[in-house]
Structure 1
Amino acid sequence: MVWTLPEPMLAEPVNNPALPPGFAAEPKWDGYRALLARYADGRVVIRSRRGTDMTAAFPEITRAAASLPAGVEFAMDGELIVWEGGRVAFERLQGRLNRTAAGAAGMAAQWPAHYVAFDLLRRNGTDPDLTAQPYTARRTALEELFTDQALAPPWTLCPSTTDPTTAAEWLEWSAVGMEGLVLKNLRGTYRPATRAWRKYRVAHTADAIIGAVSRSLTDPATLLLGRYDPTGRLRYTGRSTVLPRPLATTLPARLSPAGEEHPWTGRTFSATWGAKAALTVVLVVPELVVEVRADVSRDSAGRWRHPVKPVRLRDDLAPADVPLFGDDTTTSLT
């Protein structure tokens, strides 16, 4: 019987990380969401959340799945991640999808990926489709598959708990790149393309220096932020979301256009993380400090991967008071 991967089940953002009765919590990983099919004849398909075929982009995972015994068949939901220096390094996944087969193999050799499995949608048996089964049954089947097939790296079984204390402790994993928690109803079925899970993203407040703005000095749209490194160089650390109206109204009078001595002169900024489209910016004198609300998704150098939300100008702080580039000194909002 020919079968295909379903659309992935989705999660609705929530502001409360508390684990309610009747739910399980799993760590939220900072990687590429991926559904993986392993057919009885050994064929493997890895598909992204948006349906992109990623099979050739992750040869190490494809090879591991293909090498399982003949006849083994399953469909998993999970996350592709790369560990580097004791943390999840999302940036090591960047570019995989745009590489040739040789290029993907080179990246796999240098920064091998792991597949963190958190759901089992199909398996061998008389009733192979598990999507109508509750989470508890699917979780048991997933654990049994790991045991029966002795799955080891690059396979990783995602932790799961019904203990609120353990779930709260997982929120402290942000130092290694975990984004937060995903909360799943123990009795819930797998509902493709439906936001029936819940996700809580850990957030922090942090301080950064305004180095540039997008659009114009008189009508800034977003901020480009930086921090000094130990050598005194202003390093780009991320971009803000659209400025809230009060800050957008008061900020223009505080901005001073920079001269050619600005450390970012000649630099090109991307419109979004990993995008090729350039963003038009106006460099400013890096003298203003702003407090931002940021999630924990960073690259290995400490740059924020997602846009941060401006909170307020910090007139009480000078640029020298801002933590150095790569310093994770932040205040948790969990």
Structure 2
Amino acid sequence: MVTEKPQKIHSIHILRGVAIIMIVFSHCLGVFKNTYLITNSYLFSFLNLFAFNFTTFFVLIAGFLFQHLIYKFDTKTYYLSKFKTVVCPYISISIFCFIFFHYPYLSSLPWYSSTQTNIISAITKMMLTGTQLLPLWFIPMIIIIYLMAPLLYFLSKKSLIIAGLTAMFWVVMFTKPDFTKPFLNLLHYGPVYLTGMMIKQNYQTIMKSVKSNLFLVIFFFCLCFWIPFAYRYISHLIVEKLYYDTLQKIILFILALYFLDGLNHKTNEGKLYKFFSYMANISFPIYFIHEIIVLELERLLYISPLGHVIKTDNGWLASLGAVIFLVSTLIVSVIIAKIITLFFNNKAKYLIGAIR
């Protein structure tokens, strides 16, 4: 089997860094809980909508890289890698959550009962749905996709252009379900993963098509963004029942690949590139631990003299607060990830995910 290391795709690497920042930002925006913020502030509404569902980027990147590395795919090696870098940190972070967030609830339950909720059933349900911590809903769903790797390997040998284009329309009609339902989320994000594979398989063709129809693609993205944005303020749109957020992010992903394609043909030493590259390298630990930091910072803010800011109806203030939360969360998350890595070295990947 060929083991030659494939050429690094710098644009994909950068987009992983962008994706983790935006995912953290969406959760920081969620700290500000005034229900009138979106209706009162176009700025907060715009940031809320734009930052929402960057999980799509993660799924697209995963599918893209699966196709990129398909030439050296080995089922046993693949499963072992995912177990070490995804399942193990998922279990580790879950244990932390059970102790520090769910202990009062769990301690009130019997260890086992055939007639009522018990500790074993409660923990099992949370582990299977990822409800022990907000971002963890993603893990049970992506694990199912990982388990489908042999099927995806088979599909990778076929032309995926029709399947990928069909998937892009499917995600508009089959809306993103409740995050507590991993199999329904699979039906939404599984096609997104397939779209990522299709983009890699037809990369040059897609880039040429975007170049030839750039303004049309940008218009399509703006349309997918404007419709859900406008629906927040206009009560009767003809197409408001369709779901545009995932398609919007797919188009944005393709546009980003086009504008960043030049990175793949030169040595990248700029400070901006290094920053996003670093965020990409540490994205897994940030993903697993950032919500714990957000919750703690929120708690500290709530008991401080500035606690009233959480419920502000001032969109500019809430937006600024979310940016401050974002910067603080990223800094603290990186520090914690580095400390854990310092103490546990290579074994840290079993606790918080791998630093590349």
TM range (shorter): under 0.3
The structure with more helix, counted as a fraction of residues? 2
If asked which structure has higher relative contact order (CA below 8 Å, sep 6+), I would say: 2
**Bigger Rg, which one:** 1
TM-score, normalising length from structure 1? 0.25
The structure with more strand, counted as a fraction of residues? 1
